[in-house]
Amino acid sequence: MKARLLGAAKTVALVAGVTLVASSAHAGCPIQLAVYSEAQSGAEIDFTPAGTSATITNAFRMILDNNTVLDGIAMWTEGSAARPHGSLMYKCPTGDVTGEELAACTVWEGVIYSADDKGGVGLLPAEGADAPKNLILPDLGPSLEMSAAYGPAGFSKVPWDIFVLKGCQE
């Protein structure tokens, strides 16, 4: 009996240790290295360092099915109601781009929210902060479904608005 209890105690300690290591792997991931996934479509968001831009606070890309890639950025608005305004673009021209050209290739725009396991909602943090557990991109699916990226030449599985932290890039 004593041997069984000792064996059970070791098993519980081992499981607790593995759980602690697994949860701490996500806990220390900075947002600029975070990877998120969306369960319904399999879409992913991979953040990358934004570089030296004075206005872009986050850079990322969204990978959809059929290898469709959307380029994303977030820029914080100014004023008393500052928010991380996100944009997803599809096949934008490079170089000196006009506002009209940028508007034509933008497939989604909106505030990017974060959420924790307890239902607390916040805003997408800037680089250097820990990656939040969840990201919410309001009205993402309907916007993408109406875009040039959707259909026979692009993606076919429309993501929902919530992405869950999947891991951290090395």
> What are the tens digits of pLDDT across the range 100-132?
999 999 999 999 999 998 989 999 998 999 999
Domain for residue 92, yes or no?
yes
Contact 133, 113 (CB under 8 A): no
Q: What confidence score (pLDDT) does residue 53 get?
A: 74
> How many independent structural domains does the chain possess?
1
Residue type, position 59, single letter = A
CA distance 135 to 164: 7
Q: Tell me the pLDDT tens digit for each residue of 130-157.
A: 999 999 999 999 999 999 999 988 999 9
**What's the farthest any 2 CA atoms get from each other in the chain?**
77
Domain for residue 153, yes or no?
yes
Domain for residue 10, yes or no?
no
Q: At 24, which helix (H) or strand (E)?
A: helix 2-27
Domain for residue 34, yes or no?
yes
pTM value is: 0.80
In which domain, by residue range, is 94 found?
A: 30-168
Beta strands in 17-127 (DSSP E): 34-37, 44-48, 56-64, 68-76, 84-89, 106-111, 113-115, 121-123
Sign of torsion over alpha carbons 135, 139, 142, 144: negative
Domain for residue 5, yes or no?
no
Question: Given pLDDT bands bounded at 50, 70 and 90, which one contains residue 25?
Answer: very low
